[in-house]
């Protein structure tokens, strides 16, 4: 049965299909006669059918029925300058025949990127418009407002930088660190180490506060370091360390920094959208994140937010910021208030997608999103522990959306990941640095944070470990997860009843 006939079966008639897609009935009739739905309708079909027909099914069928054919025409025909022969062009041709790329359907449960909501994919496929188009400029203002909501801040300078989270990190250090500055960096994983690299490349001197990988940043160690380095003017730390799955107390760490008159830079790449984040209440000075984790958008954008104190400092700098692209003073002309001036060509369609992803979070509500990540973490944790697996991080410091689990002794962790990918199309992450080969990183972030993904992961991982000779019973893991869900549902019902009585 083709995708077109399946649509007719789902909606009952060609007329109803046409109505659902807002098309002329003749278009739908042509789909049925030709035996395929054109590839450009793939994401819309998945959205309208609520996943009943996957976009990849439409793409694969369309590719098989109507493969892309490219007619070659020698450049001399186009430009009127004869070439020495066909070989003049063939010398640069790829070694293999290349066709259109259609990625497989994966269940993404690693450290990112995450699965993307169909609404976001559909929005990103809209026609491109100019980066100074009045309609686009209006959307930019909406986008800034949505980001302020997600960050829980009223800071005017809250916007997405063009580039991944690493660009957001560098943006903060390039603007806040001047040559010779002493910066205290808290390192308890890979990304604290990258902060050190950024300080040094900006000409600063990094004073490192070390904590064990898998442990949160110790506020007392930060306090001691600030007392011993009174000239330090910036403190930097990672809120949720992606490499280990540990969450530090951002509110307390920022408070310690401010007590010593230091600015605080916070990495929220993995936490924004998945863990409580209150920029204004915690008085965070500079913070950056990434679009591809708990925000569930395409990679390539880094939402940032800066306090007025930071903006005033950057404006008062006497030296020229060494990066033209990342100079806050220049970028203010495009993302700041007032008349917008050209700075760079913004990735318009990616920004369309981020706008929709943030709108989804606004519709859900931030506290509900935070609770969703905690709820599915609890169920996943119950199932993994029923398999006999151990978490790297102590329970009170575990990052709900990034679960670091120790690989059992005698098990080839890379082989497990390969089997999950090849046989179940599930991606989980490997350990980094000193944890390489020792842990798996299982992510339940953003749109990937759903009960069906939790249960699928437990079933697949349990089956793989069992096949490798581990004493794992998949049924026990699934029962533990279902039990956790039932317990949380009962507690929520009790709380709701108490609230009704109190009212």
Contact status, residue 258 vs residue 202, Cβ threshold 8 Å: no
What CATH number did the domain enclosing 246 receive?
3.40.640.10
The domain boundary residue, chosen from 362, 380, 411: 362
Contact status, residue 282 vs residue 155, Cβ threshold 8 Å: no
- pTM (2 decimals)? 0.82
Contacts of 401 by beta carbon, 8 Å cutoff, 6+ apart: 240, 270, 271, 274, 275, 293, 294, 373, 377, 443, 444, 445, 449
Please indicate, yes or no, if residue 201 is contained in any of the structural domains. yes
User: What local confidence, expressed as pLDDT, does residue 237 receive?
Assistant: 99
What CATH number did the domain enclosing 28 receive?
1.10.260.40
Please indicate, yes or no, if residue 95 is contained in any of the structural domains. no
Q: Is 467 in a helix, a strand, or coil?
A: helix
Please indicate, yes or no, if residue 215 is contained in any of the structural domains. yes
Instruction: Supply the range of the domain harboring residue 424.
Output: 366-502
What CATH number did the domain enclosing 377 receive?
3.90.1150.10
Print burial letters for 369-392: b (CB count within 10 Å at least 16), e (below 16). bbbbbbbbbbbbbbbbebbebebb
Judgement on whether residues 187 and 310 belong to the same structural domain of the protein: yes
In angstroms, how far is CA 263 from the centroid of its own chain? 26
* Angle between helix 308-316 and 165-176 (nearest 10): 60
Please indicate, yes or no, if residue 240 is contained in any of the structural domains. yes
User: What local confidence, expressed as pLDDT, does residue 77 receive?
Assistant: 47
What pairing do the DSSP bridges indicate for beta strands 439-443 and 402-406?
A: antiparallel
DSSP conformation letters of 80-138 = S---S-THHHHTTS-SS------PPP-EE-SSSPPP--HHHHHHHTSPP--TT-HHHHH
Query: Along the 503 residues of the chain, how does pLDDT read in single tens digits?
Result: 999 999 999 999 998 998 898 887 778 888 898 899 988 788 889 889 998 999 888 888 887 876 555 444 444 444 455 555 556 677 788 888 888 899 999 999 999 999 999 999 999 999 999 999 999 999 999 999 999 999 999 999 999 999 999 999 999 999 999 999 999 999 999 999 999 999 999 999 999 999 999 999 999 999 999 999 999 999 999 999 999 999 999 999 999 999 999 999 999 999 999 999 999 999 999 999 999 999 999 999 999 999 999 999 999 999 999 999 999 999 989 998 778 889 999 999 999 999 999 999 999 999 999 999 999 999 999 999 999 999 999 999 999 999 999 999 999 999 999 999 999 999 999 999 999 999 999 999 999 999 999 999 999 999 999 999 999 999 999 999 999 999 999 998 888 888 788 77
Judgement on whether residues 300 and 405 belong to the same structural domain of the protein: no
Please indicate, yes or no, if residue 323 is contained in any of the structural domains. yes
Judgement on whether residues 158 and 238 belong to the same structural domain of the protein: yes
User: What local confidence, expressed as pLDDT, does residue 86 receive?
Assistant: 59
CA distance 430 to 413: 8
Pull the structure tokens for residue 463: 């089956």
Number of domains composing the chain: 3
Please indicate, yes or no, if residue 21 is contained in any of the structural domains. yes
The domain boundary residue, chosen from 24, 48, 68: 68
Please indicate, yes or no, if residue 102 is contained in any of the structural domains. no
Contact status, residue 443 vs residue 403, Cβ threshold 8 Å: yes
Judgement on whether residues 61 and 166 belong to the same structural domain of the protein: no
Residues 456-489 pLDDT 10s:
999 999 999 999 999 999 999 999 999 999 999 9
Judgement on whether residues 309 and 178 belong to the same structural domain of the protein: yes
Judgement on whether residues 164 and 289 belong to the same structural domain of the protein: yes
CA distance 480 to 442: 18
Q: Is 313 in a helix, a strand, or coil?
A: helix
Judgement on whether residues 256 and 353 belong to the same structural domain of the protein: yes
User: What local confidence, expressed as pLDDT, does residue 87 receive?
Assistant: 60
Judgement on whether residues 220 and 338 belong to the same structural domain of the protein: yes
CA distance 417 to 422: 9
Judgement on whether residues 428 and 495 belong to the same structural domain of the protein: yes
The domain boundary residue, chosen from 333, 362, 391: 362
Judgement on whether residues 356 and 419 belong to the same structural domain of the protein: no
Judgement on whether residues 20 and 156 belong to the same structural domain of the protein: no
Please indicate, yes or no, if residue 180 is contained in any of the structural domains. yes
List the one residue out of 362, 403, 486 whose CA is nearest residue 109: 403
Contact status, residue 264 vs residue 360, Cβ threshold 8 Å: no
Which DSSP letter does residue 305 get? E
Judgement on whether residues 308 and 184 belong to the same structural domain of the protein: yes
């Amino acid at each position: 049965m083709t995708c077109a006939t399946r649509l007719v079966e789902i909606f009952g008639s060609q007329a109803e299909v046409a109505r659902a897609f807002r098309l002329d009935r003749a278009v739908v009739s042509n789909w049925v006669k030709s035996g395929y739905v054109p590839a450009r309708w793939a994401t819309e079909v998945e959205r309208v059918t609520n996943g009943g027909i996957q976009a990849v099914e439409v793409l694969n069928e369309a590719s098989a029925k109507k493969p892309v054919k490219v007619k070659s025409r020698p450049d001399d025909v186009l430009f009127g300058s004869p070439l020495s022969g066909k070989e003049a062009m063939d010398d640069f041709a790829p070694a293999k025949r290349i066709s259109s790329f259609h990625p497989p359907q994966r269940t993404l449960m690693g450290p990112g990127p995450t699965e993307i909501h169909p609404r976001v994919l559909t929005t990103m496929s809209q026609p491109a418009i100019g980066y100074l188009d009045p309609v686009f400029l209006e959307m930019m203002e909406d986008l800034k407002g949505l980001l302020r909501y997600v960050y829980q801040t009223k800071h005017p300078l809250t916007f997405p930088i063009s580039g991944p989270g690493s660009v957001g990190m560098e943006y903060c250090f390039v603007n806040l660190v001047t040559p010779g500055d002493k910066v205290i960096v808290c390192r308890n994983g890979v990304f604290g180490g990258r902060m050190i690299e950024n300080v040094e490349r900006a000409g600063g001197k990094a004073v490192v506060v070390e904590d064990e990988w898998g442990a949160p940043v110790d506020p007392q160690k930060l306090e001691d370091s600030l007392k011993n380095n009174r000239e330090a003017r910036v403190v930097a730390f990672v809120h949720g360390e992606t490499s280990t799955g540990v969450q530090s107390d951002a509110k307390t760490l920022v408070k310690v920094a401010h007590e010593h008159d230091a600015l605080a830079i916070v990495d929220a790449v993995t936490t924004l959208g998945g863990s409580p984040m209150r920029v204004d209440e915690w008085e965070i000075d500079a913070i950056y994140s990434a679009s591809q984790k708990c925000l569930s958008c395409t990679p390539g954008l880094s939402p940032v937010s800066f306090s007025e104190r930071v903006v005033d400092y950057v404006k008062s700098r006497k030296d020229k910021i060494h990066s033209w692209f990342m100079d806050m003073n220049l970028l203010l002309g495009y993302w700041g208030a007032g008349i917008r001036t050209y700075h760079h060509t913004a990735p318009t369609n990616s920004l369309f997608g981020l706008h929709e992803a943030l709108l989804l979070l606004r519709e859900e509500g931030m506290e509900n999103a935070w609770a969703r990540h905690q709820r599915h973490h609890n169920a996943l944790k119950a199932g993994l522990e029923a398999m006999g697996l151990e978490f790297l991080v102590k329970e009170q410091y575990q990052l709900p959306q990034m679960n670091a689990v120790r690989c059992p002794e005698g098990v080839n962790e890379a082989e497990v990941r390969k089997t999950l990918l090849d046989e179940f199309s599930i991606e989980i992450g490997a350990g980094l640095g000193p944890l390489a080969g020792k842990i798996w990183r299982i992510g339940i972030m953003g749109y990937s944070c759903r009960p069906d993904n939790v249960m699928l992961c437990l079933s697949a991982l349990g089956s793989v470990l069992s096949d490798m000779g581990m004493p794992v019973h998949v049924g026990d893991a699934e029962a533990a997860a279902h039990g956790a869900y039932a317990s949380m549902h009962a507690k929520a019902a009790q709380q709701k009843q108490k609230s009704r009585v109190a009212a």
